[in-house]
Amino acid sequence: MLVRCPQCRKEFRLVDFTPDRRVVQYLCPGCEQIVGIDLEMDEVATSSSSGSYKRMDHPWTILVADDSQEVLDRIDKILTAEGFHVLQAGDGIETLEAIRASHPDLVILDLLMPRLTGFEVLRQVRQDERIHDTRVLAMSSVYKDNVLEFLHQLGAAGLLDKDSLAETIVFRVRQILEPED
């Protein structure tokens, strides 16, 4: 697969990778730095599309961000059983770092977290050119429909009520990741 380094922009052929993770660490032959290559974003379009990451079979990666380990574990169990690859983050700073490092297909983001709130995480994601298209589903047990319009203005795909997680999370995740044409 032909890719472009996100730092020096040199194009090179990526070898020895598996499509089970969207971001791989690789030594760039141009800048000689270890960089995170986003297999989808950093791929250079060529006439040979057979090796294209978008055409490869890979599980959706979902980052779940919440300061409650109980909530993280409950969501992880539900989504893993449905075939999703799940990452976890326990506060706002950790969430931003995980988004930048792994480029998940979807972030399920608690709005009230320590160090950075979910609102601030969402603002920073939308301002970062490498991750601004990341799909985000906000989650709260405190905020309800009264913040939905504000979340949409910030670029969230919707709001998930923590009180009904078990009944709605798989449907909402599939609705965002696998929209009907």
Task: Return the domain boundaries, the chain.
Answer: 2-55, 61-177
pTM for this structure?
Answer: 0.78
Mean pLDDT score, 37-64: 76
11-13 vs 2-4, strand pairing mode: antiparallel
* pLDDT averaged over every residue in the chain: 88
**pLDDT over 70 percentage in the chain:** 90
Q: What is the mean pLDDT of residues 49-71?
A: 81
Cβ within 8 Å of residue 175, ≥6 positions away: none
What's the length of the chain?
181
Using pLDDT thresholds of 50, 70 and 90, give the confidence band for residue 12: confident
CA–CA gap between residue 7 and residue 35 (Å, rounded)? 8
Please, are residues 27 and 38 in contact by the beta-carbon 8 Å criterion?
A: no
pLDDT of residue 47: 54
Rounded to 5°, angle at Cα 19 from 14 and 20: 140
- pLDDT in the model for residue 50: 52
Task: Give CA torsion, residues 130, 168, 149, 153, to 10 deg.
Answer: 10
Q: DSSP state, 154?
A: H
Give the architecture-level CATH label for domain 61-177.
Answer: 3-Layer(aba) Sandwich (3.40)
Per residue in 128-161, pLDDT (tens digit) is 998 999 999 999 888 666 788 888 888 999 899 8
Using the predicted structure, report yes or no on whether residue 48 has a pLDDT greater than 70.
no
Specify the amino acid at residue 137. L
pLDDT tens across 113-123, in order? Answer: 999 999 999 99
